[in-house]
Amino acid sequence: MSEQQIKITLAQLNPTVGDVTGNAAKARAARERAKADGADLVVLPELFIAGYPPEDLVLKPAFQSACRAEIEQLARETADGGPAMLIGTPWVEDDKLYNACALLDGGRIAALRFKANLPNYGVFDEKRLFARGPAPGPVTVRGVRIGVPICEDIWLEESEDYENVVECLAETGAEILVVPNGSPYARDKADLRLSIAVARVTESGLPLAYLNEVGGQDELIFDGGSFVLNADLSVAAQLPAFEENITTLVWRKTVDGWRCSGPVAPQLEGDKADYAACVLGLRDYVRKNGFPGVLLGISGGIDSALCAAIAVDALGADKVRGVMLPFRYTAQVSLDDAAKLAAALGIRYEVLPIADAVNGFEKILAPVFAGLERDITEENLQARARGTLLMAISNKTGAMVVTTGNKSEMSVGYATLYGDMNGGFNPIKDIYKTEVFRLSSLRNSWKPDGALGPSGEVIPVNIITRPPTAELRENQTDQDSLPPYEVLDAILERLVEREEPLADIIAAGFDRDVVTRIDRLLNIAEYKRRQAAPGVKVTRKNFGRDRRYPITNRFRDFGKALPAPDEKLVTRGSRASADAFEG
């Protein structure tokens, strides 16, 4: 390092949870790249050696030991005189487990920093896994004092148990803030991250490098999008989203402190970002779990069409198999559209009529159902026959079944257990039906960088414009059972994402009967959602990690105005405080 310069490499990489050796190999390769660039320091994301989030795996002593052994080996390798490495790892010290960053330099572990603020909301559950670290000071690399707040350490909130890590680092002499993160994707999350970083730079007067993980881990997508802010709040560098990237940045010391400049990659926003998240999520779920490919039912409808396009973009046409499973209610237009979709995407495609299976089930059940009217039970036999056949092909070939229900259907239970809900993963589980239409139209005019599918129109326009139908009975449409999707999704967004009281939704202009009915369907479908396949998280509140409601639950909001709290009923000293012990 020259007197007025330091080179820092940001390694925005995609780890795999539990693949300690593989993650160490990625870190080693990133360091070699940084060394070739003449870097002084290479930085990797939060808990990189373990993969993030490790969940309860991190409590396993054998796993903790494996992570430490790899960190120690990486530390030995820094004796070669190359760049120092700052890498996230679980770390046990004094019988406590920490979310740590280790500075490896000169053949040893030169410093350790422990995460002080542990998130415990939404998808995060760190307080039950890790001990809280002490207020940290900066680490020194080539004479430069670098502050290392870890992810939540910069997401400052007004709270008694929240350590102002950035303030502490500034007061103890930090010159540059380097923030390793495991920050999962949600719609418009990039703007929120930037605003948080701006606030910390404004408070501390220090430049900040925000390094984020990239890749899919079960339902979570990490979108990368790492960036650097100079102390004057100018964007010094921006890494691309949804892809691995290693960038070395040159920092120079000026009279006003350290500054850097680098490439600024354009960022995906809105529907484009959501689509890219779905592609990355499916790709990593399939590849990291070792499936040779995927298959899905192609119905001629828009949900399966969008999922097929996502699958081809994620894996390539040679890894995707489409199966049309028609019955007597399947319209010829559905058969035609399904065939056109498969041809446009270039996937293997076959038609397997299910009449023999459905008629066989009905014949077996005839004595049991004697004297009973035909109803939804017979409709669901079609869906369950399809689900059984898809799972049989999966068993035989090893390919994973992609299930294709959207968030609107998952919300109100408009799906059949052990039928169309069968499958290993759902790329559109967190995408409402109105968004399915938008993403389908979008895909016909655009695809993300790195997508493996063909360009141009891949989803026949008729699939997008045709009224949605499950085709389980004659002339059926979704709107026979549900309000228009524009209305349904607007109500669901208020119920699910915002947790609004029914009275507020009704006051906003929605019909009382429709709102109460949708709320009832949302509540009684919880048992179905517990049995649904995992799927990509896109919204701020997905079903599963974000929204965990009891299945057995008798509370109902009947849409009445909420009573105001009556503070007169609260006895002085009843709250848990010193007042409670006054004589």
pLDDT by residue (tens digit) across 262-297? 999 999 999 999 999 999 999 999 999 999 999 999
- Any bridge partners for residue 320, and if so which? 294
The token duo for 343 is 């041809």
Helices (H), 244-301: 270-288
- How far apart CA 37 and CA 381 sit, in angstroms, is 62
Judge contact between 11 and 41, C-beta under 8 A.
no
- HSE of 223 in the Cβ direction (CA atoms, 13 Å)? 27
- What sign does the dihedral 390-340-316-313 (CA atoms) show? negative
Which 8-state DSSP code applies to residue 143? T
- How far apart CA 105 and CA 347 sit, in angstroms, is 50
Position 470 scores a pLDDT of 64
Contacts of 329 (CB under 8 A, 6+ apart): 382, 471, 472, 473, 474, 476
3-class DSSP state for residue 108? strand
Phi, psi of 260 (to 5 degrees): -140, 165
Position 30 scores a pLDDT of 98
Position 581 scores a pLDDT of 36
The token duo for 541 is 């509140």
- What sign does the dihedral 44-126-54-391 (CA atoms) show? negative
In terms of Cβ atoms closer than 10 Å to its own Cβ (0-12, 13-18, 19+), residue 165 is buried
Q: What angle do helix axes 302-315 and 433-443 make, rounded to 10 degrees?
A: 50
Residue (of 290, 342, 289) closest to 312 by Cα position: 342
pLDDT by residue (tens digit) across 541-567? 888 777 878 777 777 777 777 777 777
Q: For 349, left (φ over 0), alpha (ψ -120 to 50), or beta?
A: beta
Judge contact between 222 and 215, C-beta under 8 A.
yes
Question: Per this entry, what is the length of the chain?
Answer: 583
The token duo for 523 is 């509540």
Position 2 scores a pLDDT of 46
Which 8-state DSSP code applies to residue 233? S
Residue (of 272, 248, 211, 270) closest to 52 by Cα position: 211
Q: Maximum Cα–Cα distance for the chain, whole Å?
A: 91
Which sequence positions are flagged as catalytic? 46, 115, 151
Which 8-state DSSP code applies to residue 496? I
- How far apart CA 14 and CA 32 sit, in angstroms, is 17
Phi, psi of 538 (to 5 degrees): -120, -40
Position 1 scores a pLDDT of 47
Position 579 scores a pLDDT of 41
Judge contact between 51 and 19, C-beta under 8 A.
yes
CA 150 from centroid of its chain's CA atoms: 19
- Any bridge partners for residue 185, and if so which? none
- How far apart CA 82 and CA 76 sit, in angstroms, is 12
The token duo for 388 is 């059984």
Which regions of the chain are under pLDDT 50? 1-2, 577-583
